[in-house]
C-alpha cells in the first residue's frame, strides 16, 4: 500500500511568493495532520482534520497560513505571502483513531521549503 504522499519534496521560492504544499493521505484514514519541523522549534502541529473538517488550527502561525481538505484523499497547506522564517520541513500525517488499535499516525516524507 502507498503511504502518505507529499508534493513537492523540495520547494525553493522567493519571499512574497505563494507556496502550496500537497498531501494525499493513506486511503481509508479519516484524520489528517500538518506538522512543521525547524531546528529552533522542533516538530510542531499546525492543524488537523477529522473527516475533512478542521478540528484544531491553533498551531497555524498566522493568517498567511491556510489549510484545506476538500475531500478525503487530498489536502493543501498554503502560505501567502511566504517569508524566510517559513523555511522548514513540512510533514503531513494521516491516521484512523476510531479504528486503529494503536491510534498510529503515519507520516509522509515531508516537503523541504526554502524561502529566500
How many helices (H) does the chain have, and how many strands (E)?
Answer: 0, 11
Q: Which of 7, 16, 28, 56 binds other proteins (CB under 8 A)?
A: 56
In the numeric block, which cell numbers belong to residue 33? 495532520
- The smaller minimum CB distance to other proteins, of residues 15 and 43, is found at 43
Q: Which of residues 65-94 bind other proteins (CB under 8 A)?
A: 91, 93
Name the minimum Å distance from CB 69 to other proteins: 15
Within 13 Å, how many C-alpha atoms sit on residue 76's CB side?
Answer: 9
Q: Does 44 bind other proteins (CB under 8 A)?
A: yes
Residue 44 CA from chain centroid, whole number: 11
Choose between 4 and 79: whose C-beta lies nearer to other proteins: 4
Burial class (CB in 10 A: 0-12, 13-18, 19+), 2: exposed
User: Is the separation of the CB atoms in 59 and 8 below 8 Å?
Assistant: no
The answer to whether 14 contacts other proteins (rule: CB under 8 A) is no
12 forms part of the interface with other proteins (CB under 8 A): no
Does position 50 bind other proteins by CB under 8 A?
Answer: yes
**Cβ atoms of 111 and 37 closer than 8 Å:** no
Residues that bind other proteins (CB under 8 A): 4, 31, 33, 42-45, 48, 50, 55-56, 91, 93, 95, 97-98, 100, 102-110
Amino acid at each position: 500500500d502507498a503511504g502518505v504522499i507529499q508534493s513537492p519534496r523540495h520547494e525553493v521560492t522567493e519571499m512574497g511568493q505563494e507556496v502550496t504544499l500537497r498531501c494525499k493521505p493513506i486511503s481509508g484514514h479519516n484524520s489528517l495532520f500538518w506538522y512543521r519541523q525547524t531546528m529552533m522549534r522542533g516538530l510542531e502541529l499546525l492543524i488537523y482534520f477529522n473527516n475533512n473538517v478542521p478540528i484544531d488550527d491553533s498551531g497555524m502561525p498566522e493568517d498567511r497560513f491556510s489549510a484545506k481538505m476538500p475531500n478525503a484523499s487530498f489536502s493543501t497547506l498554503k502560505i501567502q505571502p511566504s517569508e524566510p522564517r517559513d523555511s522548514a520541513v513540512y510533514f503531513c500525517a494521516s491516521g484512523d483513531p476510531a479504528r486503529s488499535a494503536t491510534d498510529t499516525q503515519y507520516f509522509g516524507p515531508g516537503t523541504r521549503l526554502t524561502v529566500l
